């Protein structure tokens, strides 16, 4: 549809440009044709959007949309490799379109100089086959997830914070959606700090490239997309782990969009905020230490309906994760605290908040993998849901 000849022919230029794809049995001429006929919307032309856009264009995605309302600043260039010094001051979508069409003049790049919002999300997302989230902020992420659920569009989530990245694919082929993993937006106190905390410059390149890979796999129908799995990347330790999650049967289906206003938390003293990180403890290690006499305060940060399904023995208190800032005085400061949830994602945010927001004599641990990993490695009678 977009630049591809009839099925019986592939031009010499296309054959040369995509030669490494054409020799892959999983791609080949027909797969390359699918890429050329596909459309992908990338929300954000910043750190995550930069590598995703470059690799989508190089791969031959025929129609690429990019939406962003920001301009290129010199501080962006440390990680937003789509732009260069000469682009400083230009609209990011203009800079992106210029760079991508230089890279691959056969594709169509549509620049939307706007902010994705309730007023334009359904109309814009509805024009594309796949969406990549390069916004790296909660408000836009929930909006994308809700719009894609309403429209039945798959989308690829990406997140970066300091030295850690996360990637997952949602709403594809009956898979869970963003709200199944993160039911509600966190309060500002639990939202990762945006500018002050910083990010390792190469990390968005890793995460954004994985996002592009997921989009290409979806278009081609190959491999195993990250559905029901949250990929967590630790750049300092150079480790990756996968956290499993599933549909939340109690979650209502999204039928309309609503505004989500979650701003990044701001701390006056960045050094104090980052002075220490929460610790991780596996369910197996936790069970072993408790068996040896350790008596931590076990905090459940799931919802009440989740607690009714199952809980861990010895739970001291349940506070829904987004209520922790208001009820943190109920959590003792003189004992070790272990925080858990279904998959270890919400609990990690709470544990990090407890470490950075208050002084404590005890240590704060996140139970990695949550109830799912507990069921897999410690006690299979604990229900996975």
Mean pLDDT score across all residues of the chain: 89
Please determine, for residue 24, whether its predicted confidence score (pLDDT) is greater than 70.
Answer: yes
pLDDT band at 11 (very low <50, low <70, confident <90, very high): confident
pLDDT band at 156 (very low <50, low <70, confident <90, very high): very high
Give the whole-number percent of the chain exceeding pLDDT 70. 89
pLDDT tens for 274-285 read 334 568 999 999
pLDDT at 244: 85
Active site residue 264: no
Would you kindly state where each structural domain of the chain is located, as residue ranges?
Answer: 38-244, 276-377
pLDDT at 191: 59
Q: Which two tokens stand for residue 293?
A: 């006499």
Give the whole-number percent of the chain exceeding pLDDT 90. 71
pLDDT band at 2 (very low <50, low <70, confident <90, very high): very low
Integer-rounded Cα Rg, in Å, for the chain is 22
Active site residue 194: yes
Same fold, 38-244 and 276-377: no
What is the value of pTM for the model shown? Answer: 0.72
Catalytic annotation, pick one of 341, 348, 354, 364:
341
Catalytic annotation, pick one of 2, 103, 194, 200:
194
> Domain 38-244 falls in which CATH fold?
Rossmann fold (3.40.50)
pLDDT tens for 294-333 read 999 999 999 988 899 999 999 999 999 988 998 999 999 9
Which of the two residues, 283 and 1, has the higher pLDDT score?
Answer: 283
pLDDT tens for 43-96 read 999 999 999 999 999 999 999 999 999 999 999 999 999 999 999 999 999 999
One CATH from 3.30.1240.10, 3.40.250.10, 3.30.470.10, 3.40.50.300 for 276-377: 3.40.250.10
pLDDT at 190: 58
pLDDT tens for 334-376 read 999 999 999 888 898 899 889 878 777 889 999 999 999 999 9
pLDDT band at 186 (very low <50, low <70, confident <90, very high): low
């Amino acid at each position: 549809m977009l630049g591809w000849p009839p099925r019986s022919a592939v031009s010499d230029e296309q054959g040369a440009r995509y030669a490494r794809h054409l020799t892959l049995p999983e791609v080949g001429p027909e797969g390359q044709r699918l890429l050329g006929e596909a459309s992908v919307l990338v929300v954000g032309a910043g750190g995550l959007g930069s590598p995703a856009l470059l690799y989508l264009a190089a791969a031959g995605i025929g129609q690429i949309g990019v939406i962003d309302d920001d301009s290129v600043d010199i501080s962006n260039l440390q990680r937003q490799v789509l732009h260069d010094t000469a682009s400083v001051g230009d609209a990011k979508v203009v800079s992106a379109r210029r760079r991508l069409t230089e890279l691959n003049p056969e594709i169509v790049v549509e620049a939307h100089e706007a902010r994705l919002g309730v007023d334009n999300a359904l109309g814009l997302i509805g024009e594309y086959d796949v969406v990549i989230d390069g916004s790296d902020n909660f408000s836009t992420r929930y909006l994308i997830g809700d719009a894609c659920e309403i429209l039945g569009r798959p989308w690829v989530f990406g997140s970066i914070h300091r030295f850690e990245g996360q990637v997952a694919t949602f709403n594809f082929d009956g898979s869970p959606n963003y709200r199944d993993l993160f039911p509600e937006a966190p309060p500002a106190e639990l939202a990762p700090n945006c500018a002050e905390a910083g990010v390792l410059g190469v990390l968005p390149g890793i995460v954004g490239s994985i996002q592009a890979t997921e989009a290409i796999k979806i278009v081609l129908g190959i491999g195993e997309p990250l559905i029901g799995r949250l990929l967590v990347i630790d750049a300092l330790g150079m480790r990756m782990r996968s956290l499993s999650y599933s549909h939340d049967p109690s979650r209502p289906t999204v039928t309309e969009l609503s505004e989500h206003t979650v701003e990044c938390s701001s701390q006056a003293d960045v050094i104090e905020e980052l002075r220490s990180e929460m610790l991780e403890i596996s369910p197996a290690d936790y069970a072993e230490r408790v068996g040896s006499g350790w008596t931590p305060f076990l905090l459940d940060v799931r919802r009440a309906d989740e607690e009714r399904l199952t809980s861990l023995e010895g739970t001291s208190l349940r506070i829904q994760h987004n209520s922790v800032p208001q009820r943190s005085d109920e959590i003792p400061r003189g004992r070790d605290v272990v925080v858990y949830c279904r998959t270890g994602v919400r609990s990690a945010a709470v544990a990090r908040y407890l470490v950075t927001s208050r002084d404590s004599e005890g240590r704060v641990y996140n139970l990695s993998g949550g109830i799912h990993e507990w069921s897999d490695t410690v006690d299979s009678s604990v229900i996975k849901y």
